[in-house]
Structure formats: structure tokens, C-alpha cells
Amino acid sequence: MSESEIPATGEDSVVDLDARRVVTPTKRRRTLITIFILIVVLAAGWVVWFSSLLTSESVSVLGVEGAPAQQIREAAQVPLGVPLAQLDTQGIADHLSSIPWVASVDVRRGWPHDVVIAVVPRTAIAVTGSGLGVDAHGVEFAPTSPLPAKLPTVTADGIGLVSAMGVLNSLPDDLGPKVAKLSATTRDNVELTLHSGAIVKWGSVEQAELKSQVTRALLKRKAKMYDVSAPELPTTFKEKIQH
């Protein structure tokens, strides 16, 4: 075997192995940077989750004022002095959503020390005989402020109430203000009483646009009752003959 074919051994091998173990300044710097970043991340996590630097100290309520806002603060029961990161904001929001007059609520962390509760109250489109507001989804609630004086009065409950509110909410701007009262016992027998005293048998909420068009045309003829529950075959009752 020639000398060129003899594998390197001895002192040359030791030198190569030692060379691999040499820690260069670049490697040392990278290691220190990695350790520093890890320390910063851990410290930041501790500050956010466990320290007293970012704790809840106040509660702000948006969307309502006065007594309703105070009701929200009391019902939220936000613990003070707790790290904001540990607050169960969704749990607080779910609890507040059970208040009848609240349509929606969002609870956010207002860093560094505030808890922000944004509330959207329900909007009444009708009123019950007992003075409760009713929104477009048929939800009854005690209003947080005086209701508009010209809201129609509804007599219904359960699915009838939901259907009646669906009908009222579907009426165009020129027909809605004409409604003084509405009633329903099922989803299919909604009746509207107009300010003129005339009654419109509307039926269900289906075909709302067509029924509105037919009603608009029929109202040009004076009658005691209009039936548009089957809008393809509308009828009038006790129609007054115009001279």
C-alpha cells in the first residue's frame, strides 16, 4: 500500500476533533442572544400573567349610562386586583348576556388596568300592554329609558309574538308607521290594526314584500278589513263605496 493510500491517524485526527470543539465568537454571541431572548420572554410572561403591574383596577361601561351602566358593573362582578390576562372575559360576557335588555355585550382588556364592557341594548319596535318593550326578535324586556310614544302595541306570546315582530320588522317605511296594534296566536295569523281603525289580516311573515305591495294598493280603497294572507287572492270586507 502506498503512502498516499494510508488513512490519516494519530496527531492529525486529534487536531481535527479539537477543531470541531472550538467555540467561535460568533457561536458564543448567538448563544448569549438566544439566552437573553428566552429570559425576556419569560420575564414578559411573568409580568403579564402573575405580577401586580397589569391588574384590573377599574371597569368602563360603553353603550349605556347612568343606572343601566351601574347595573352592568354590578352584574359583571369583575374582580379587582387580578392580572388582566387571567380574567375570564368570555365568562363575564356570557353572564351579562342573560340580562333581558342586553342585545349583545363584549368584554375587553383595556391595558394596563381597565376592563372595558361594551353593551348594545335592545331596541324596542313595539310595546306590550304592561309596558314592556319588544325587539325585532320577539324578546320582551324592561326598557332602560322611556320608549317612543308611537310604538304599536302587541298582543301575543310565544311563537305568535316572534311571528308578529317578524311581520312588523318587515314592513316598509310607508306602512310601518300606520300600524297602531298587532296581534297573533300562531305564526300564521298575524293581524295588524291601523291607526285608521282598519284591520289587515297579514298571516305569516312569508312573502312580506308582495304583501306590502298588495296592501299598499288595497289601502286606496276604503274598507274595514283587508286580507292579504294569500297575497295572490287578496280580499276586502265592508268596503265603503266612494262616490
> Which amino acid appears at position 145 of this protein?
S
Residue 227, C-beta contacts closer than 8 angstroms, at least 6 positions apart: 200, 201, 234, 235, 236, 237
Given this model, what pLDDT does residue 6 score?
46
Distance in angstroms between the alpha carbons of the first and the last residue of the chain: 133
The predicted pLDDT at position 27 comes to 76
How many residues are present in the chain? 243
In a domain, 86, yes or no: yes
| Domain boundary residue, one of 81, 101, 121 | 121
Average pLDDT, the chain: 87
**Domains in the chain, number:** 3
pLDDT digits (tens, 9 = 90+) for 141-187: 999 889 998 999 999 999 999 999 999 999 999 999 999 999 999 99
The pLDDT score that the predictor gives to residue 39 is 73
Residues 67 and 28 in one domain: no
The residue-averaged pLDDT of 16-44 equals 69
Q: Which residue would you say has higher pLDDT here, 239 or 165?
A: 165
Looking at the structure, tell me whether residues 208 and 181 fall in a common domain: yes
Of 181, 184, 182, 179, the closest CA to residue 219 belongs to 179
Sequence-separated (6 or more) residues with CB below 8 Å from residue 6: none
Does 242 map to a domain? no
Q: Is residue 156 part of a domain?
A: yes
Report yes or no: 191 and 199 within 8 Å, Cβ to Cβ: yes
Q: Rounded to the nearest 10 degrees, what angle do helices 208-218 and 158-170 cross at?
A: 70
Higher pLDDT, 44 or 212: 212
pLDDT at 33 over 90: no
Domain residues for the domain of 7 are 3-49
Evaluate whether residue 38 is within a structural domain: yes
